[in-house]
Amino acid sequence: MDGRPIALITGGSRGVGAAVARELASTHELILGGRESTTLRAICDELGARPWAVELTDERAVAEAVAGIDRLDVLVHSAGTAHLGRVADLSVRQWRESFEVNVTAVAHLTRLLLPALRASRGQVVLINSGSGLRANPGWGAYAATKFALRAFADALRQEEEGNGLRVTSVFPGRVDTDLQRSVREQEGGAYEPEKYLNVASVARAVVTAVTASRDAHFTEIVIRPAAPPTA
C-alpha cells in the first residue's frame, strides 16, 4: 500500500461495487471482494487493486482473509442476493440464504474489521435498497433483510460514534445491474434500463459520503431514478 486511504469493497467485481471502485481508484488503495473469476481479476488489473476472493458466508475463510488488515479507511458492503416470491411460496433455504448473504455476512465482516476501522476513524457504507424503507408483495424476504441491514447500520452508527466511525446507509431505487436483471426475470417483467439508475450515479453518492469533511456525517442517502422527460 502506498499511503493513500484504503477501501475494501465487497461485490467489487461488478454492478454498484465495481462503479464505486472506479470512482475511488484515483484517491484510494483498493481491495476488491468477489468470487474468484476472470471478471474480478480484470477489474483489479484495470484499477491496480488487490483481489480479495473470499466466500463471505464462510466464517473461517473471512476471518483468515482479514487477518492481515490492520488499518482500513472505508468498508463498502455491496455484495447481496435477492430471492423474490410470496411468503406462502418461499422456502426456508431461500430465507436463510437471503439473511446469510445480506445481513449475517455483513455483520461478521464488519465486526472483524472494526479494530482496523477504528484505527483510522474510518467509514462503513452499506448499499441498501428502497426495499429497506418499504415492503411490497412478493418482496418479503428481500425487504426483511434490508430492513435488518438498516437496523444494523443504525445500531453500529450509535455504538461507534465515540470511536470516530461514520456509518452510511444508501437506499437506491432500481439500478441497471445484473442483479436487477435477475429481479426482473423473477418478476416476469421486461428489463428497461432507461428507467433505472446508472451504477455511476449510485457510486458518486457513495463518494460524496466518503469524502465529506469530518464535520459532516451522511447517515442516510436515498436515491431514486429521475422521471423521464415528457414530450
Confidence of residue 188 (pLDDT cuts 50, 70, 90): confident
**Number of other residues whose CB lies within 10 A of the CB of residue 66:** 20
Helices 15-24 and 38-47, packing angle to 10 deg: 20
**pTM higher than 0.85:** yes
What pLDDT is stored for residue 230 in this prediction?
63
How confident is the model at residue 148, as a pLDDT? Answer: 98
Asked if residues 33 and 11 have their Cβ atoms less than 8 Å apart, the reply is: yes
Residues 59-93: tens digit of each pLDDT: 999 999 999 899 999 999 999 999 999 999 999 99
The answer to whether residue 230 is domain-embedded is no
Grid coordinates representing 11 are: 461485490
> Are residues 30 and 73 in contact, defined by beta-carbon separation less than 8 angstroms?
no
Kindly tell me if the per-residue pLDDT of 180 is higher than 90.
no
Sequence-distant (6+) residues with CB within 8 A of 111 are: none
174 lies in some domain: yes
Q: How many domains does the chain have?
A: 1
What band does 57 get if pLDDT is binned at 50, 70 and 90?
A: very high
CA 221 to CA 55: how far, in whole Å? Answer: 28
Task: Tell me what pLDDT residue 60 has.
Answer: 96
Among candidates 174, 177, 124, 173, which has minimal Cα distance to 149?
124
* Residue 151 confidence (pLDDT): 98
Asked whether residue 1 is assigned to any structural domain, the reply reads no
Q: Please tell me the predicted confidence (pLDDT) of residue 229.
A: 67
pLDDT the model gives residue 3? 82
* Mean of pLDDT values over 180-198: 85
Range of the domain at 122: 6-220
- Is 132 part of a structural domain of the chain? yes
pLDDT at 192 over 90: no
The Cα–Cα gap between 153 and 50 comes to 26
Encode pLDDT of 123-179 as tens digits: 999 999 999 999 999 999 999 999 999 999 999 999 999 999 999 999 998 887 778
Is 86 contained in some domain?
yes
Domain assignment present for residue 141? The answer is yes
Residue 187 has pLDDT above 90, yes or no: no
Which residues, listed in sequence order, are joined to residue 52 by a DSSP beta bridge? Answer: 33
Distances in whole angstroms, Cα of residue 227 to Cα of each of 131, 178, 194, 230: 19, 22, 10, 9
Rounded Cα–Cα distance for residues 218 and 190 (Å): 34
The Cα–Cα gap between 199 and 209 comes to: 16
Asked if residue 85 is part of any domain, the answer here is yes
Residue 82 lies in a domain: yes
Residue 64 maps to which CATH number?
A: 3.40.50.720
In a 13 Å sphere around the CA of 101, the CA atoms on its Cβ side amount to 19
